[in-house]
Amino acid sequence: MTSQLLRNLPSVERVVSSDALADVVSIYGRDWLVDLTRDALESARRDIRAGGQARCLDDIAEAVKRAVDELVTPSPRPLINATGVVIHTNLGRAPLSKAAIAAADAVARGYSDLEIDLATGRRGSRQAHLQSLLRQITGAEAALVVNNNASALLLGLSALASGREVIVARGEAVEIGGGFRIPDVLRQSGCTLVDVGTTNRTYVRDYADAVTDDTAAFLKAHASNFRVEGFTAAVEERDLVELGERTGVPVLHDVGSGALLPTERYGLAHEPTPQEAIDAGVGLVFFSGDKLLGGPQAGIVVGKRDLVGRLERHPLARAVRIDKMSLASLTATLTHYLSGNAESEIPVWRMISARVEAIKSRAERWREAIGGPSGYETAVVPARSAIGGGSLPGETLDSWALSISSRGSGSRPESLLSALRGRATPVIARIEDDTVRLDPRTVLPEQDDDITMGLAEALAL
Ligand SMILES: *Cc1c(COP(=O)(O)O)cnc(C)c1O
């Protein structure tokens, strides 16, 4: 039986020259359709051997078409984030401001003065403009921007401390996520980690006792994705800087999310800012471009001129350099902080500062737009949005959400979640109390129609 089904499968040639694939072949040519057809036939054979059904020519041609579609669909695909998590690493972190998008678009279209000094016509630095902006905003003497914060740290430690010791508080030898661990970065940079203090408490004298002739830096890392509560003590930046001045050891601080606005203004806990670290006299401050800064992926280093200079001259600087589109959109994003319109123009800050009543009325509008879908109960309920992205662990903002319960229809909330993910513009929601929750805080205003259409479709399935 099985061998009969296997023998009945069409040949590669018959599938590729079938009418069903004529259009696809005329667009993409035969060569890679032959490969995809082999794959489709192989998977049909596997399925038949496992007890699956017979496949006719049309089934295989259909599978090949789906494979073609998948290959040519642009990726990553835009989607709607209705999770209420503002900086969602799996969903691409910060959405960009209009000006930041326009800036990336403009340099992508044609040539730019990326590395030419227009006044002299000679070679210029891709960093120059960004450096003056960052100096203005953070008060630092110098700045350097690279591919992301992880590479900024790798560069910083390699340039300043390779072959030497770096002192880190035990409570700060952390894993940031995605396998990124401070001890591993130190090892990769050729440094020896000297950990001091205990998991919950570290004092200045712990650092002082560990200093040797071989000490190259004190490294502080913001424990950005967890909180230690209770009997704790961490060393004030200023005290560490003072010890550093006495012993000739620079302080490096990985503040993580790069909040340039005070988070406490929005009812959140205080997130350390690069400005404060510079003000305290830290040698180098490291942060990401696409977390609370609200820009593109980037790693930003600000600090003392001589230290930044050593990073610039290190061979790794070239290996981790930033590309022109990120550079352009980061510049545009930073300009919002200078013009004082960050809160209204940068999406992550607009989301964080959104008024709860406005969020509630959006949820109510969504609810009205989908009407009363049969088998489902809808309600607008209090919710909590999170900051995410390794910023402000455990901190949430009061919000409202559209809640959809499928109890009446007998289907599981997971099925609705998956139907929402399966749309042309996928919608990502979450489940709480056995109901699907959609938080308007993280949905861009221009996505309102799309989300209600998506909901109506998914609920009708
Ligand atoms: C997120 C984070 C990083 C990694 O930054 P990327 O820009 O993702 O490379 C490093 N350190 C801290 C403290 C972070 O929060």
**Using only C-alpha atoms, what is the Rg of the chain?**
27
- The pair of structure tokens assigned to 60 is 């295989």
Distance (Å) from CA 292 to ligand 1 centroid: 11
pLDDT, residue 32, reads 86
Nearest ligand 1 atom to the CA of 391 is 15
The residue to which tokens 């998956």 are assigned: 418
Please, are residues 443 and 81 in contact by the beta-carbon 8 Å criterion? yes
| Residue of minimum CA distance from atom 1 in ligand 1 | 256
What is d(CA 281, CA 140) in angstroms, rounded to the nearest whole number?
9
What is d(CA 119, CA 117) in angstroms, rounded to the nearest whole number?
6
> Which candidate, 97, 93, 145, 96, places its Cα nearest to that of 341?
97
DSSP string, 89-113: GGGTSPPPPHHHHHHHHHHHHS---
In single-letter form, the type of residue at position 410 comes to: G
Measured CA distances, 28 to 11, 16, 63, 454 (Å): 20, 12, 16, 31
Predicted model pTM: 0.92
What is d(CA 195, CA 212) in angstroms, rounded to the nearest whole number?
13
CA 357 centroid distance within chain: 28
Distance (Å) from CA 320 to ligand 1 centroid: 15
| Residue of minimum CA distance from atom 5 in ligand 1 | 149
Distance (Å) from CA 322 to ligand 1 centroid: 16
What is d(CA 440, CA 358) in angstroms, rounded to the nearest whole number?
9
Nearest ligand 1 atom to the CA of 289 is 7
Ranges under pLDDT 50 in the chain: none
What is d(CA 440, CA 81) in angstroms, rounded to the nearest whole number?
9
Please indicate whether residue 148, judged by its CB atom, sits closer than 6 Å to ligand 1.
yes
pLDDT tens per residue, range 198-237: 877 888 999 999 999 999 999 999 876 666 667 677 788 9
Please indicate whether residue 222, judged by its CB atom, sits closer than 6 Å to ligand 1.
yes
Please indicate whether residue 149, judged by its CB atom, sits closer than 6 Å to ligand 1.
yes
Please indicate whether residue 156, judged by its CB atom, sits closer than 6 Å to ligand 1.
no
**Local structure of 431: helix, strand or coil:** strand
Please indicate whether residue 253, judged by its CB atom, sits closer than 6 Å to ligand 1.
no
Please indicate whether residue 221, judged by its CB atom, sits closer than 6 Å to ligand 1.
yes
Distance (Å) from CA 150 to ligand 1 centroid: 6
pLDDT, residue 394, reads 76
DSSP string, 375-425: T-EEEEEEEEEEEETTEEEEEEEEEEEEEEE-GGGT--HHHHHHHHHTSSS
pLDDT, residue 390, reads 67
For strands 430-432 and 435-438, give the pairing.
antiparallel
Please, are residues 304 and 283 in contact by the beta-carbon 8 Å criterion? yes
**Local structure of 179: helix, strand or coil:** coil
Distance (Å) from CA 395 to ligand 1 centroid: 18
DSSP string, 218-262: EEEE--TT----SS-B---HHHHHHHHHHHT--EEEEEES---S-
For strands 165-169 and 215-221, give the pairing.
parallel
Nearest ligand 1 atom to the CA of 389 is 1
Please indicate whether residue 326, judged by its CB atom, sits closer than 6 Å to ligand 1.
no
- The pair of structure tokens assigned to 209 is 């006792």
Nearest ligand 1 atom to the CA of 290 is 7
| Residue of minimum CA distance from atom 6 in ligand 1 | 149
Distance (Å) from CA 149 to ligand 1 centroid: 5
Nearest ligand 1 atom to the CA of 257 is 15
Please indicate whether residue 288, judged by its CB atom, sits closer than 6 Å to ligand 1.
yes
Please indicate whether residue 300, judged by its CB atom, sits closer than 6 Å to ligand 1.
no
Distance (Å) from CA 175 to ligand 1 centroid: 10
Mutate to test the pocket of ligand 1, among 222, 225, 286, 288 (most ligand atoms within 8 A of CB): 288
Distance (Å) from CA 213 to ligand 1 centroid: 30
| Residue of minimum CA distance from atom 14 in ligand 1 | 256
**Local structure of 123: helix, strand or coil:** strand
Main-chain phi, psi angles of 142, to 5 degrees:
-150, 165
